[in-house]
């Protein structure tokens, strides 16, 4: 038997910190959170009281899907909050890039559905089908829009790539203004706002977010476009440091999300709202 002051069994520690006993055993096996003592006769694991805080830190970090190796970095110096802040900031950039990839995929799927998969398969870049001025402008708008997404998906963009991303977003919105429908215009404004928010430029981010929302309201555009229009206003306000108004607009985005027809589209909006900086979790 093992004797010692303030030793906790796996089950006791699991209940104290909100982890499962299975998870604690796994973290021991991978060397993330080893017990203070292992009974040589029974193999039972015992944890010291000082490990409660470490286990809670593991639970918090894993609750946002932080990879185990990144959790390990935080545990190496748990009293240095700057380490956790740096690791979480990097993880947030990765998640945002992943979210942008998903939204970009949705946009490309919309065009495949609108244009037809067969056409996309048979059109040859080397021998493009004859296109009038409107069709050429529409294709350019799409290519620029998708190019912005590819840059948004990059985790380590250069200053030059940031500039290119911004100019491409405006160029795409310009071409949609020539040949697009109101929904294309609202999405173009949304993308301009998102780029400015990513670059930390609150004033133009808020301008384009509000412009996109105006277009949605003027033309009766609803569903996820309307919810994302509210989201872009909330995000721009958060970038501006106006936490209270960002919360108000996040709640409006949540209300708009309730009217989204498809569950997957609604989940995408909710996930995007969670990525707004400095915002508490609303659901």
Kindly state whether residues 161 and 55 are assigned to the same domain: no
For residues 138 and 207, state if they share a domain: yes
The 3 state secondary structure assigned to 255-280 is HHHCCCCCHHHHHHHHHHHHCCCCCC
Residue 2 lies in a domain: no
**Structure confidence by residue, pLDDT tens digits, 175-204:** 999 999 999 999 999 999 999 999 999 999
Query: 109: buried, middle or exposed (CB in 10 Å: 19+, 13-18, 0-12)?
Result: exposed
Of 209, 221, 194, the residue nearest 277 (C-alpha)? 194
283 in a domain, yes or no? Answer: no
Q: How confident is the model at residue 1 (pLDDT cuts 50, 70, 90)?
A: very low
Per-residue pLDDT of 110-149, as tens digits, reads 666 766 666 555 554 444 444 567 888 999 999 999 999 8
**pLDDT value at 21 more than 60:** yes
Residue 85 within a domain: no
Distance of CA 64 to the CA centre of its chain: 11
Quote the pLDDT of residue 229: 95
Give the percent of the chain with pLDDT over 90.
Answer: 47
* Separation in Å, CA 41 to CA 30, 38, 117: 22, 9, 65
- Checking if the pLDDT of 228 tops 80, the result is yes
Q: Both 189 and 225 in a single domain?
A: yes
| pLDDT band at residue 240 under the 50/70/90 scheme | very high
What does each C-alpha distance from 255 to 73, 106, 242, 269 come to in angstroms? 39, 22, 20, 11
Say whether pLDDT at 99 is over 80. no
The DSSP string of 22-86 is HHHHHHHHTTSS--SEE-TTT--EEEETTHHHHHHHHHHHHHTT--HHHHHHHHHSTT-HHHHHH
| Confidence at residue 281, expressed as pLDDT on a 0 to 100 scale | 40
Residue 280 lies in a domain: no
Domain with residue 69: its CATH number is 1.10.1660.10
241 falls within a domain: yes
Residues 142 and 217 in one domain: yes
pLDDT, tens digit, 9 for 90 and up, residues 3-13: 556 789 999 99
Partners of 38 in the β-ladder: 45
pLDDT for the residue 6:
77
Whether 262 and 147 map to the same domain: the answer is yes
Residues 143 and 215 placed together within one structural domain of the fold: yes
Q: How many domains does the chain have?
A: 2
Phi, psi of 45 (to 5 degrees): -95, 140
The single-letter DSSP state of residue 153 is: T
**Could you report how far apart the first and last alpha carbons of the chain are, in Å?**
46
Cα–Cα distance for residue pair 264/273, rounded to 1 Å: 14
The verdict on 152 and 44 lying in the same domain is no
Range of the domain at 100: 92-122+131-274
Residue 86 lies in a domain: no
Residue finishing a domain among 79, 112, 143: 79
Residue 159 belongs to a domain with what CATH number?
Answer: 1.25.40.10
Q: In DSSP terms, which residues pair with 47 in a beta bridge?
A: 8
Question: Is 26 in the same domain as 135?
Answer: no
Identify whether residues 170 and 35 lie together within a single domain.
Answer: no
Domain boundary (15, 48, 79) is at: 79
Query: What pLDDT score does 247 carry?
Result: 92
Residue 105 vs residue 61, higher pLDDT: 61
pTM above 0.85, yes or no: no
Task: Tell whether 169 and 234 lie within a shared domain.
Answer: yes
- Do the domain assignments include residue 264? yes
Identify any residues that bridge with 45 across adjacent strands, giving them in sequence order: 38
Read off the DSSP letter of residue 173. H
Distance CA 86, CA 150 (A): 24
Rounded Cα distance between 75 and 73, Å, is 5
Residue 114's pLDDT is: 65
**Percent above pLDDT 70 for the chain:** 85
50 lies in the same domain as 110: no
Inside any domain, residue 279: no
Same domain, 72 and 104: no
Q: Which two tokens stand for residue 112?
A: 């495949």
Would you state the pLDDT for residue 116? 67
How far is residue 232's CA from residue 226's CA, in Å, rounded to a whole number?
Answer: 10
Secondary structure tally for the chain: helices H, strands E: 13, 3
Q: Give the pLDDT confidence score for residue 121 in this predicted structure.
A: 53
């Amino acid at each position: 038997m093992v004797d010692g002051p303030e030793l906790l069994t796996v089950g006791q520690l699991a209940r104290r910190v909100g982890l499962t006993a299975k998870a604690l055993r796994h973290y021991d096996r991978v060397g993330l959170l080893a017990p203070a003592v292992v009974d040589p006769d029974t193999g039972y694991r015992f944890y010291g009281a000082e490990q409660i805080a470490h286990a809670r830190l593991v639970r918090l970090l894993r609750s946002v899907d932080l990879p185990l190796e990144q959790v390990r970095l935080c545990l190496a110096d748990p009293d240095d909050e700057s380490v956790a802040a740096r690791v979480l900031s990097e993880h947030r950039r990765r998640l945002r890039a992943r979210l942008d990839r998903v939204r970009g995929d949705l946009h490309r799927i919309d065009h495949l559905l609108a244009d037809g998969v067969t056409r996309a398969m048979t059109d040859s870049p080397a021998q493009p089908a004859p296109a009038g001025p409107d069709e050429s402008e529409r294709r350019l708008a799409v290519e620029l829009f998708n190019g912005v997404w590819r840059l948004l998906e990059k985790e380590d963009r250069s200053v030059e790539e940031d500039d290119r991303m911004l100019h491409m977003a405006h160029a795409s919105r310009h071409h949609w203004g020539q040949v697009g429908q109101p929904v294309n215009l609202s999405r173009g404004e949304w993308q301009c706002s998102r780029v400015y928010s990513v670059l930390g430029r609150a004033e133009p981010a808020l301008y384009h977010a509000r412009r996109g929302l105006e277009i949605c309201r003027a033309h009766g555009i609803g569903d996820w476009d309307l919810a994302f229009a509210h989201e872009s206003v909330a995000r721009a306000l958060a970038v501006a440091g106006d936490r209270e108004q960002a919360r108000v607009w996040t709640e409006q985005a949540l209300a708009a999300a309730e009217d989204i027809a498809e569950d997957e589209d609604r989940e995408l909006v909710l996930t995007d709202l969670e990525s707004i900086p400095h915002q508490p979790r609303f659901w």
